[in-house]
A and B are shown apart, each in its own frame.
Chain A
Amino acid sequence: MSVADVILGSVLVFISFFVLLYSRKFPHFVVRGVRLPGPSFFPRILAVLLLIFAVYIFVEQFLLRKRKALWEEHRIDAKSLLNVLWISLMVLFFFPLASLIGTFITVSLMSFLLTVVLKAKWYEALIFSFAVALVVYLIFGVIFKIPLPGGILLAKLR
């Protein structure tokens, strides 16, 4: 039995019931006394379809005893998981940090940290992170004039 598929099936059941229950509060669409397909019509069809997929997955796993250890084939070690965590943190905290210290420094800093975490030599990381920051600044800031955060702290220093 594939644990991952069972979890997938359970998630589908959860999404399906959530959509069915949540869409109950959507208003009806009535024109001249005739009830027509309203805002809940399509999501409910999809929720039922998801429920059918979930049932299929459960039947496949428990009744047909399909032994497909998909997730298990790609078991992730702690080190790899840490890499994923690093990238996630980088994405989530990029703009909060950029609004403080500016985009250029944030790109340089985050690129440097990530390349070092991903096992590059520190001097390679230093040159590379500066180059990436420069390219980002030139393309998005100079050529396309996108208002990238300049940083509150830097603004105060100026």
Chain B
Amino acid sequence: MQLFDVLKPDVLFPLLLSMLFGVFVGAIPGLTATMAVALIIPLTYYMKPVAGLAMVLGASFTAIFAGDIPATFLRIPGTPASGAAILDGFELSKKGKGSLALMLDLFCSALGGLIGVVILITVSPPLAKFALQFTHFEYFWLGIFGLSMAAVLSRGNTIKGLLSATLGLLISTIGIDVTTGYPRFTFNVTELMDGVSFIPAMIGLFGLSEVLKRTSEKSRLQLSAVSEVVRPNLKETFAHIWNHKFTLLRGALVGTFIGALPGAGADVAAWVSYGVEKNVSKDEELGKGSVRGVIAPTSANNAAIGGTWIPALVFGLPGDSITAIVLGAMLMYGLRPGPMIFTQSRDLVTQLFAVAVLIQILLIPVGWLGIKAFSLFVRLKTSLVMTAVTIFCIIGSYALRNSVFDVYVMFVFGLIGYVFEKLRIPLAPMILGLILGRTVEDNLRVGLIKTKGNFLPFLTRPISLALFVMIVLVLIVPPLTKTFSKKKV
């Protein structure tokens, strides 16, 4: 049976390795889950798609969880998604309850992740059937909607997010024009005829740029050792989870919903969930070492990963920067994300769902190992970690097509990422622009060719119009709310 293929060594072994790698990357402050995925993709080039995608899923789930470990013990989030977990996790740690906080982190991450995956499994197929009604007009707006959401929800200001997305779209126009076969912006460079390769670009933007950023900072990564010996008390942990089951459920539901919005990822989900918990529970201890403050964000950030896969699989629209990389990888495997994947590659989708459930089970022992090994990780020096990351960025970019040109592409994008970080221009919209560029342009042009240049049908079809209205709302409502609230003050 296809479903049980995921338990075969050629899938299970890489999955376990990727989860250990995810713990390692996630637990080191400054190295993000996105970076873990970008670095793991080159290892999956020669694997079968299900094993490659299992590695990506495994690394992302465990990295998001592992980010909570330094957040709890050192008040430094391992990944941006652990920002909200700092507040109460560290306060609990100061009270000598760091072990409890970490055990809650671990089990709530697994349970939250499981709820997110169950929603992914139940919602995706019917949504894919609905997506079959989409034509060029709807796909054009859907692409624009994804880019707008990414720009609005990413950190920094919206204008800079939109600018980043536009630059990504512009870079996507490099290469041979599909409609006419004319080479655009290639400057007679043969390697550019196929366009800019996604994977080296992503490795550069998220891997090398981070290395450049961290090595140009004065502060060092060298961290102090864990002050508390981790002694788990399962009975106490389960009692807390049972007593706060609705907090966990709320966190997971909020996390999945936020994750499913294109552009919002696990970090946004964790903060929103924390905010919701603050409003709903009225717990005055929140922020001072409340168990609720640990359960809500940690269940939300892992549930969000399941959520981000909903638009990625159904519409081919990345939910966050991790799924943006995943979409690039899927294209590399010869898969085409979108509603048809549920009929054309049904077995693969089923196996992916099975892998996602399996990861939540494996997260408990792997995460526990991660917690135990944390004291070793934090002793690693920046110089060693950054050197290893640089080497993997170089070899990983080369390995895709055995092309030195791809290494230079990675380098250029590394520099772009570095400058963007300095100017506080978000990176995720650029990657989304790069990936969605072809979709947006092709659907716009084919739509216009069909209507002989008339743009009106883009606004008259019901789903198109609904998407257009949503885009306008996404772009207009936040600044209006901001202005309104300023006037009120």
List of B residues within 8 angstroms of A57 by Cβ: 159
Which residues of B371-429 are within 8 A (CB) of A?
381-384, 386-388, 390-395, 398-399, 402, 404, 407-408, 410-411, 414-415, 418, 422-424
* 10 extra A-B contacts, CB within 8 A, seeds A115-B387, A120-B383: A19-B170, A34-B453, A46-B169, A50-B166, A80-B218, A94-B407, A95-B407, A118-B215, A120-B381, A124-B381
Cross-chain contact B184 with A90 (CB below 8 angstroms): no
Interface of A is mostly: helix
Which residues of B168-207 are within 8 A (CB) of A?
169-170, 173, 177, 179-180, 182, 184-185
Number of B residues, CB within 8 Å of A: 59
CA distance A66 to B402 in the complex (A): 47
Does chain B have a CB within 8 A of A92?
yes
Which residues of A39-69 are within 8 A (CB) of B?
39, 41-43, 46-47, 49-50, 53, 56-57
List of A residues within 8 angstroms of B170 by Cβ: 15, 19, 43, 46-47, 50
Which of B119-127, B129-137, B441-449 faces chain A? B441-449
Given A41-B445, A107-B391: A36 in contact with B411 (beta carbons within 8 A): no
List of B residues within 8 angstroms of A111 by Cβ: 387-388, 391
Given A42-B173, A42-B444: A84 in contact with B391 (beta carbons within 8 A): no
Cross-chain contact A124 with B162 (CB below 8 angstroms): no
CA distance A142 to B390 in the complex (A): 21
Does chain B have a CB within 8 A of A70?
yes
Does chain B have a CB within 8 A of A21?
no
Cross-chain contact A87 with B212 (CB below 8 angstroms): yes
List of A residues within 8 angstroms of B382 by Cβ: 118
Cross-chain contact B162 with A53 (CB below 8 angstroms): yes
Nearest B residue to A145 by beta-carbon distance? B46
List of B residues within 8 angstroms of A92 by Cβ: 408, 411
Interface of B is mostly: helix
Given A43-B184, A84-B215, A87-B390: A120 in contact with B398 (beta carbons within 8 A): no
List of B residues within 8 angstroms of A114 by Cβ: 383, 386-387, 390
Closest 9 interchain pairs by CB? Answer: A118-B383, A80-B216, A39-B177, A120-B383, A83-B215, A42-B441, A95-B404, A37-B445, A46-B170
Cross-chain contact B423 with A71 (CB below 8 angstroms): yes
List of B residues within 8 angstroms of A154 by Cβ: none
Contact with B along A75-87 (1 / 0, CB 8 A): 0110011011001
Does chain B have a CB within 8 A of A139?
yes
Residue of B387, B410, B452 touching A36 (CB-CB under 8 A): B452
Cross-chain contact B180 with A39 (CB below 8 angstroms): yes
Cross-chain contact B46 with A46 (CB below 8 angstroms): no
List of B residues within 8 angstroms of A80 by Cβ: 215-218
Given A37-B453, A76-B216, A124-B384: A90 in contact with B390 (beta carbons within 8 A): yes
Residue of B386, B393, B399 touching A140 (CB-CB under 8 A): B399
Does chain A have a CB within 8 A of B45?
yes
CA distance A63 to B408 in the complex (A): 40
Which residues of A1-42 are within 8 A (CB) of B?
4-5, 8, 12, 15, 19, 22-23, 26-27, 29, 31, 34-39, 41-42
Does chain A have a CB within 8 A of B463?
no
CA distance A35 to B449 in the complex (A): 9
Does chain B have a CB within 8 A of A148?
yes
Does chain A have a CB within 8 A of B41?
no
CA distance A7 to B452 in the complex (A): 40
Cross-chain contact B388 with A132 (CB below 8 angstroms): yes
Cross-chain contact A139 with B43 (CB below 8 angstroms): yes
- Distance to closest chain B CB from A34 (angstroms): 6
List of A residues within 8 angstroms of B449 by Cβ: 31, 36-37
